[in-house]
Amino acid sequence: MTEKEEYRTQHGSVAEADINALIAEKISGGNMLLMDTEKFECSPQKKIEDTSHLLDVRVFTPEKELRIMRPSIADEFTYRLIDDTAGTYDYIDEDQYLDIDAKKSSGTAYVATGGGTYTLPVEHAEKIRIRNYISYDNQGIAQITDFRIVQYLTKGES
């Protein structure tokens, strides 16, 4: 059984000026899901040029995810690192279909069924794998206490 939030390998606060250094130190070769006050971006891991507008970034590989976030632009950044190679944890994986209009999408440029556009760092994406971490309270009652992105799945991949 996993005690509450034991799956978090590390967590703490990080200064805005140190965000890129923390990412480089903790994870490499991953993908990013970045949300700031002006845009939503999915890309291969790279340096974040404008951290002043950053609200949330997830940098992930199949083995781990570093999430840096703040609730509002006025708040301080906190981070947490989940590294599945650092222990054995209870979790449930789920594969969620992406909203893709296959007739209008090509390469890494995707069009949603409602007409919105977005890019992903992989071609022929179909799903995204999410890992939900299960923790148990003092009475042994299970609850999902966090989740992370594991990977994008292409057509036919499971």
Q: What pLDDT, in 10s, does the model give residues 107-124?
A: 999 999 999 999 999 999
On whether both 106 and 80 belong to a single domain, the answer is no
Give 24-58 pLDDT, tens digit per residue. Answer: 999 999 999 999 999 999 999 999 999 999 999 99
Residue keyed to tokens 């090509």? 106
Both structure tokens of 101: 């209009």
The amino acid at residue 151 is: Q
pTM of the entire predicted model: 0.91
- Give how many domains the chain has, as a whole number: 2
Q: Is the pLDDT of residue 1 over 60?
A: no
Q: Is residue 139 part of a domain?
A: yes
Say what the pLDDT of residue 17 is.
97
Query: 76 with 95, same domain?
Result: no
In a domain, 158, yes or no: no
Tell which of 86, 107, 127 closes a domain: 86
Residue ending a domain, choose from 61, 86, 111: 86
> If you average pLDDT over every residue of the chain, what do you get?
94
Query: Domain check: are 72 and 132 in the same one?
Result: no
Asked if residue 40 belongs to a domain, the reply is: yes
- For residue 3, the model assigns a pLDDT of 52
Residues 59 and 102 both lie in one domain: no
Give the pLDDT confidence score for residue 124 in this predicted structure. Answer: 94
Q: How far is CA 136 from CA 8, 84, 89, in A?
A: 14, 18, 11
pLDDT at position 5, please? Answer: 60
Domain of residue 100, residue span: 91-153
Please report whether residue 2 resides in a domain: no
Q: Is residue 75 included in any domain, yes or no?
A: yes
Q: Tell me the per-residue pLDDT of 59-85, one tens digit each, with 9 for 90 and over.
A: 999 999 999 999 999 999 999 999 999
- Does residue 96 share a domain with residue 59? no
